[in-house]
């Protein structure tokens, strides 16, 4: 049971983040604020329960305590409850009160930031809230209770941005003048920015005070400072942005209503699971791998002490890169120690992990398997010396055998190991036994082997009505050996390729 606190930005689909958009498409209940555009609610599933709880000044609304209780009540009944807030949830959104209520009720909470009108509205209106030699400080304030603010300190800030201030603005301006701000200083009132009905009022502090019966422009963002007098003429977008973005959720919602069992190691499943959730799936995690250090560091340490004797470093997985580089750093060295080595990698994920250490691969084969590395190697192999940090047990021997057959020397060293966990989450196993799983993903031969080890001899029977999805040929081969079949194999042997394979099944 999870409550998602989602920032709606300026209130319409035009300025919604992709993460918020995806979350709305999976909602079972949405509690939304008064400033939320109806177009956002249209992103939710047809069966989603929509509850208006938002507050507007002088308008009838639920109390904060009532909203807190609703979040708890719905959170206990539904898996995905969304609290949709305008702007950013953490800025004047009473997020802390609602978070405390949800967490106190032992519910999970997720916060998805939104684009705050405090910064977006001035920019969309052509105002830069900072500018060299004009404004190097910005204060964002609530105008709800101006009598409580430290005006002597506030007056020292170059740019002031007020939210919820249109009804107290006269008092705010008077306080600033008392503190020595210039009557000719700029003031901008920006109403409904980003919406078709947007309106701007730009003038000065004294100009505002001297305007009798100034109209109520709520909701608006108020900007005070020299930058409020420097407005740039900005063109509007030449295309209908909501129509462009509307194509994104279609492809991301194809797994809506499907339950997918993920067998990847717990420490490495997060990103993959998030991609599946973003595609509309429910995800159950059943880690079948634990990634741990090797039984001994001695072979790798000896190799690290002799790096200048190798021609190539071969890295075939994210884990190999991570453990190798961490061990290098353990000895007080960094990427400069590899200056004399060329580096070959298998897979874009491996290359990406390598780049996070400031290193670029010299060679990556077109297919993300070790066999392709051997077949496509960019220079004659004979006489070369390779350092191959790898998993301690269970890895394939094809790369070593092929390089050795071509008269190269390969030094294999264990950099990490992967072992089977000691048990399975009882709830996940129960869901599998009850036929509540639609698909299962396997990302290596070991995940298949350990899955069978964890669930016992009836593994194939448990998956009788479950679609089996494999990341690549070797994993598929193990699926056929131990489970009798594989339904789908990714065409690109990566996690992204696995996601695409899942999407294409629906």
**386 alpha carbon, distance to own chain's centre:** 37
The secondary structure of residue 43, as a DSSP letter, is T
Q: What is the pLDDT of residue 499?
A: 84
Closest CA to 394 of 331, 448, 334, 341: 448
Q: What is the pLDDT of residue 238?
A: 46
Span 480-504, average pLDDT: 87
Hey, which of 38-47, 343-352, 384-393 has the most confident mean pLDDT?
384-393
- pLDDT tens readout for residues 74-133: 988 888 899 999 889 888 888 989 999 999 999 989 999 998 999 999 998 889 888 887
- pLDDT tens readout for residues 235-261: 655 444 443 333 334 334 467 778 999
Span 198-214, average pLDDT: 87
Q: Which of the residue ranges 207-221, 284-298, 331-345, 365-379 would you say has the lowest mean pLDDT? A: 365-379
CA torsion 56-60-61-63 (nearest 10°) is 110
Do 318 and 353 contact (CB within 8 A), yes or no?
yes
Do 314 and 411 contact (CB within 8 A), yes or no?
no
* 219 cis-preceded (ω within 30 degrees of 0): yes
Is residue 216's pLDDT more than 70?
yes
Residue with the bigger pLDDT between 501 and 216: it is 501
Q: What is the pLDDT of residue 196?
A: 64
Q: Which residues partner with 417 through β-bridges?
A: 292
Is residue 465's pLDDT more than 80?
yes
Q: What is the pLDDT of residue 249?
A: 42
Report the predicted TM-score, pTM, of the whole model to 2 decimal places.
Answer: 0.48
What confidence tier does 440 reach under pLDDT thresholds 50, 70, 90?
Answer: very high
Residue with the bigger pLDDT between 140 and 247: it is 140
Please give the Cα distance from 410 to 403 (Å, whole number). 7
Q: Which of the residue ranges 191-200, 310-319, 479-488, 490-499 would you say has the lowest mean pLDDT? A: 191-200
Query: In b/e form, how buried is each residue of 157-172, taking b as 16+ CB within 10 angstroms?
Result: bbbbbbbbbbebbeeb
Q: Which of the residue ranges 252-266, 283-297, 451-465 would you say has the lowest mean pLDDT? A: 252-266
Q: What is the pLDDT of residue 312?
A: 96
């Amino acid at each position: 049971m999870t409550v998602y606190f989602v920032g709606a930005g300026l209130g319409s689909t035009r300025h919604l983040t992709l993460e918020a958009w995806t979350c709305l498409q999976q909602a079972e209940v949405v509690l939304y604020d008064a400033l939320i555009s109806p177009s956002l609610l249209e992103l939710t599933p047809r069966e989603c329960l929509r509850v208006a709880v938002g507050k507007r000044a002088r308008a009838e609304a639920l109390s904060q305590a009532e909203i807190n209780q609703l979040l708890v009540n719905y959170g206990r009944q539904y898996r995905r409850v969304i609290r949709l807030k305008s702007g950013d949830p953490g800025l004047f959104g009473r997020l802390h009160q609602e978070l405390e209520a949800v967490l106190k009720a032992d519910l999970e909470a997720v916060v998805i930031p939104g684009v705050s009108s405090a910064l977006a509205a001035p920019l969309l209106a052509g105002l830069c809230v900072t500018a060299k030699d004009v404004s190097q400080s910005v204060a964002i304030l609530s105008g709800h209770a101006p009598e409580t603010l430290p005006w002597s300190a506030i007056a020292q800030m170059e740019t002031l941005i007020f939210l919820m201030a249109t009804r107290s603005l006269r008092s705010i301006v008077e306080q600033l003048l008392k503190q020595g701000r210039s009557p000719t200083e700029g003031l901008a009132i920006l109403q409904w920015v980003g919406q078709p009905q947007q309106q701007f009022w730009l003038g000065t502090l004294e100009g505002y005070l001297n305007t009798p019966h100034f109209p109520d422009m709520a909701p608006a963002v108020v900007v005070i400072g020299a930058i409020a007098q420097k407005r740039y003429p900005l063109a509007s977008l030449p295309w209908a942005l909501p129509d462009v973005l509307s194509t994104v959720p279609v492809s991301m919602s194809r797994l809506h209503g499907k339950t997918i069992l993920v067998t990847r190691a717990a420490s490495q499943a997060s990103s993959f699971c998030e991609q599946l959730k973003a595609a509309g799936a429910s995800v159950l995690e059943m880690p079948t791998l634990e990634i741990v250090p090797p039984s001994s560091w001695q072979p790798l340490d000896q190799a690290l002490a002799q790096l200048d004797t190798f021609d190539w470093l071969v890295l075939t997985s994210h884990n190999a890169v991570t453990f190798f580089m961490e061990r290098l750093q353990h000895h007080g060295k960094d990427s400069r120690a590899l200056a004399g080595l060329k580096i070959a990698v298998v897979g874009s994920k491996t290359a990406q992990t390598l780049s996070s250490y400031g290193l670029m691969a010299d060679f990556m084969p077109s297919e993300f398997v070790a066999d392709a590395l051997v077949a496509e190697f960019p220079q004659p192999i004979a006489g070369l010396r390779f350092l191959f940090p790898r998993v301690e047990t269970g890895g394939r021997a094809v790369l070593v055998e092929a390089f050795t057959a071509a008269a190269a020397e390969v030094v294999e060293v264990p950099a990490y190991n992967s072992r089977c966990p000691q048990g399975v989450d009882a709830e996940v196993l129960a869901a599998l036994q009850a036929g509540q799983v639609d698909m299962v993903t396997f990302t290596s031969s070991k995940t298949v082997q350990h899955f069978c080890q964890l669930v016992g001899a009836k593994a194939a029977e448990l998956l009788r009505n479950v679609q089996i999805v494999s990341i690549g040929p070797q994993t598929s081969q193990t699926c056929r050996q131990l489970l009798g079949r594989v339904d789908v194999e990714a065409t690109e042997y990566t996690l992204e390729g696995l996601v695409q394979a899942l999407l294409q099944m629906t």
